[in-house]
Amino acid sequence: MKNSKGIEQAYKLAQERYAALGVDTEKALDRLGTIAISMHCWQGDDVGGFESAAGLSGGGIMATGAYPGKARTADELRADVEKALSLIPGKHRLNLHAMYAETGGKVERNELEPKHFASWVQWAKANGLGMDFNGTYFSHSKAADGFTLASADEGIRRFWVEHGIACRKIGAHMGKELGTPCVTNTWIPDGYKDIPVDRQGPRTRLKKSLDEMLARPMNRRHLLDAVEGKLFGLGSESYVVGSHEFYLGYAVANKVLLCLDMGHFHPTEVVSDKISAVMTFVDELLLHVSRGVRWDSDHVVILSDELAALAQELVRGNYLDRTHIGLDFFDASINRIAAWVIGTRCMIKAVLLALLEPTARLRQMEAEGDLTARLATLEELKTLPFGAVWNYYCTRANVPAGDAWLAEVKVYEKNVLRNRS
Ligand code: RNT
Ligand code: ZN
């Protein structure tokens, strides 16, 4: 897709097709340019972090695959993120985990401070990126028995509460420094592999821990707190303390953000259907855009029907301004930078598709009871020249259109990634 004249001609034709349906493509592209996607750092090193050479261990999440070239240091990870972002249209954000601290020696997680993220913040500033943040409640000796904030061991529970408090200070610092609120998310692995007798105790303790963590009010211009539930994980198949119902209740009662991860529900449940329900009761939402495949909740995001439906809900319900779109997947079996580029570009494509929908027209059909026309129109929309608009958007944003980004990733692989052992 090098021919920019061809891209422009194709766009003009597409623009006319959409205009005939009452859709202003220019308006859609301008709006699209304002939507920031929070790209997760952990795709770049298989959720390893830089605390130890061993990387990910325990916590019910697992990256599979052995593709060469993963980032081994923060500098390498930043370089890889920069490469990926250079191939993605628009201005976005970086989502960091606490285990990516640069401490220059052992610092316990409950003692982390903003200064341990100074290089990240400085780099984000230089690259014009906002940042989001996450406590890391896994891959740690104090999480070895599968319990953290819900632990019955008071010393362990306290340690993780302190970690949570530290993370909120770090998040607030990032938000203040970067001039955009830092969504600081809490996901914990706590649960049982087999059927528990006491389902109530751990949940009571989790509530207490969250209350302690969140006790100190913070400036919402700097920090937004989010909580993320899950149906099950590896090693927590029978019982997860922080279930969806638990956190939905917690978020509503405490006015924090709810995080919905697309891979965290029963396979027949869809997050797209939950948005309008949840948004009736919470002010703001964090999404972890992911793709569940059988037991895995974290495959690379593709332009699936569900991704399109998710974006449609955000646009149709006018929820974009109340939603923080974050990505959460990790695949170690393919080029990790390509994984970022594919997933992030697909998320943006889904939003564009939704912005190009003649929603008012469809709503009218529905309101008039013409459900035949509704179905017919929705199906016809699928073959409109969306690709021409997308390519034009990429060209306009000075990033490769079509599949031209892949050649750049291959060059980077040859020149940079291959030299990492
Ligand atoms: C795990 C959660 C969580 C993590 C990241 C690394 O099931 O989805 O969001 O994937 O924090
Ligand atoms: Zn998640």
In this structure, the residues whose C-beta lies within 6 A of any atom of ligand 1 are: 42, 47, 61, 134, 187, 228, 230, 261, 288, 297, 328
Question: How many A from CA of 26 to the centre of ligand 1?
Answer: 36
Instruction: Reduce the secondary structure of 42-103 to three states and give it as a string.
Output: HHHCCCCCCCCCCCCCCCCCCCCCCCCCCCCCHHHHHHHHHHHHCCCCCCCEEEEEHHHCCC
Q: Which atom of ligand 1 is nearest to the CA of 261?
A: 8
Q: Between β-strands 37-40 and 130-134, what pairing exists: parallel, antiparallel or unpaired?
A: unpaired
Among protein residues, the one whose CA lies closest to atom 9 of ligand 1: 187
Question: How many A from CA of 199 to the centre of ligand 2?
Answer: 23
Q: Which atom of ligand 1 is nearest to the CA of 228?
A: 9
Pocket mutation for ligand 1, best pick of 140, 324, 328 (most atoms within 8 Å of C-beta): 328
DSSP track, 211-270: HHHT-S---TTTEEEEEE--S-BTTBSSEESS-HHHHHHHHHHHT-EEEEETTSS-TT--
Q: Which atom of ligand 1 is nearest to the CA of 60?
A: 7
Q: Report pTM.
A: 0.98
DSSP, collapsed to helix, strand or coil, labels residue 421 as: coil
Instruction: Reduce the secondary structure of 363-404 to three states and give it as a string.
Output: HHHHHCCCHHHHHHHHHHHCCCCHHHHHHHHHHHCCCCCCCH
| Residue in the structure block whose two tokens are 């929908």 | 357
Kind plus residue range of the DSSP H or E element containing 167: helix 154-178
Q: What is the pLDDT along the chain (421 residues), one digit of tens a residue?
A: 457 899 999 999 999 999 999 999 999 999 999 999 999 999 999 999 999 877 777 788 889 999 999 999 999 999 999 999 999 999 999 999 999 999 988 999 999 999 999 999 999 999 999 999 999 999 999 999 999 999 999 999 999 999 999 999 999 999 999 999 999 999 999 999 999 999 999 999 999 999 999 999 999 999 999 999 999 999 999 999 999 999 999 999 999 999 999 999 999 999 999 999 999 999 999 999 999 999 999 999 999 999 999 999 999 999 999 999 999 999 999 999 999 999 999 999 999 999 999 999 999 999 999 999 999 999 999 999 999 999 999 999 999 999 999 999 999 999 999 999 7
pLDDT value, residue 232: 95
Residues in the chain: 421
Per-residue pLDDT of 398-413, as tens digits, reads: 999 999 999 999 999 9
CATH no. of 35-353: 3.20.20.150
Question: How many A from CA of 60 to the centre of ligand 1?
Answer: 9
Question: How many A from CA of 326 to the centre of ligand 2?
Answer: 9
Are 389 and 25 within 8 A, CB to CB? yes
CA dist., res. 312 & res. 273, Å (int): 11
Which residues have a catalytic role annotated? Answer: 187, 228, 230, 261, 264, 288, 296, 298, 328
Ion ligand 2: residues, CB within 5 A, are 261, 288, 328
Neighbours of 128 (CB within 10 A): 10
Among protein residues, the one whose CA lies closest to atom 5 of ligand 1: 328
- Domain residue ranges of the chain, discontinuous segments joined by +: 35-353
